[in-house]
Amino acid sequence: MAQIDYFFSILSPYAYLAGNRLEEVARAHDAQITYKPIDFMAVMAHLGGPGGLHPARLSYMSQDIVRLADRHGMPLTARPAHWPANPAPASYAIIAAQAAGGGDTGALVHAFMRACWAEDRDVSDDGVVRDCLRAAGFDPGLADRGLLSGAETYGANNDEAMQRGVIGVPFYLTGDGAAFWGQDRLEDLDRHLAAGA
């Protein structure tokens, strides 16, 4: 079975605008996705980038994400009320849910991103974390039980991202080492897997 390691941040509009296309690609090729939320700003700092985004980049991004949302027919709040929020609580919940099983991890990831980018909800709020867990078929109590292991795995995901050459989000790595950066590279990932990767 093909493997896709998916490095992302809940706060990335580009990860949100990927929609469920990664899951569609994985289904088409019987591939397994491992969801790896990361602290993108920490990874950027490691790469020698700034701790935040340059105003020119933010200005461009605010135009670009509106165009992408329109192209993909996705709702978008270009300037979310709670951005940037602390992504750690949602990330810990994703890590705990993926380990526990019993629900749909992809749906959980999308629920958090939708909460941030389409619903103006604070993904660091305990109530939002529990709502998203419940909506994706997981026990909302994972918000409490998964904190320690979630924090450890979140840190390990950051280290792994730096070691494996993650340079942005969303970032997709296949089992054979092929790397794809950006939601606009999902077609390339699809073709790579179709070629028998």
* pLDDT per position as a tens digit, 89-130: 999 999 999 999 999 999 999 999 999 999 999 999 999 999
The model's pLDDT over 53-73, given as tens digits with 9 standing for 90+, comes to 657 766 777 777 887 788 888
Is residue 76 pLDDT above 90, yes or no?
no
Q: What is the pLDDT of residue 45?
A: 72
Q: What is the pLDDT of residue 9?
A: 95
Is residue 17 pLDDT above 90, yes or no?
yes
Query: b vs e for 139-174, b when ≥16 Cβ sit within 10 Å of the residue's Cβ?
Result: bbebbeebbeebeebbeebbebbeeeebebbbbbbb
Q: Please give the average per-residue pLDDT across 180-191, as a whole number.
A: 94
Q: What is the pLDDT of residue 74?
A: 77
Sign of CA dihedral 54, 152, 22, 179: positive
Q: What is the pLDDT of residue 51?
A: 52
Among the listed residues 54, 37, 58, 43, the one whose alpha carbon sits nearest the alpha carbon of residue 123: 37
Amino acid identity of residue 95, one-letter, is I
Is residue 43 pLDDT above 90, yes or no?
no
Q: What is the pLDDT of residue 49?
A: 57
What is the residue extent of each domain of the chain?
3-194
Is residue 50 pLDDT above 90, yes or no?
no
Q: What is the pLDDT of residue 93?
A: 96
Q: Which residue has the higher pLDDT, 81 or 17?
A: 17
Choosing among 3.30.450.40, 3.90.1300.10, 1.10.645.10, 3.40.30.10, the CATH entry for 3-194 is 3.40.30.10
Whose tokens are 């939002």? That residue is 128
Q: Please give the average per-residue pLDDT across 147-151, as a whole number.
A: 86
Which of helix, strand or coil describes residue 181?
A: strand
Burial of residue 67 (number of CB atoms within 10 Å: 0-12, 13-18, 19+): exposed
Among the listed residues 28, 37, 20, 18, the one whose alpha carbon sits nearest the alpha carbon of residue 197: 28
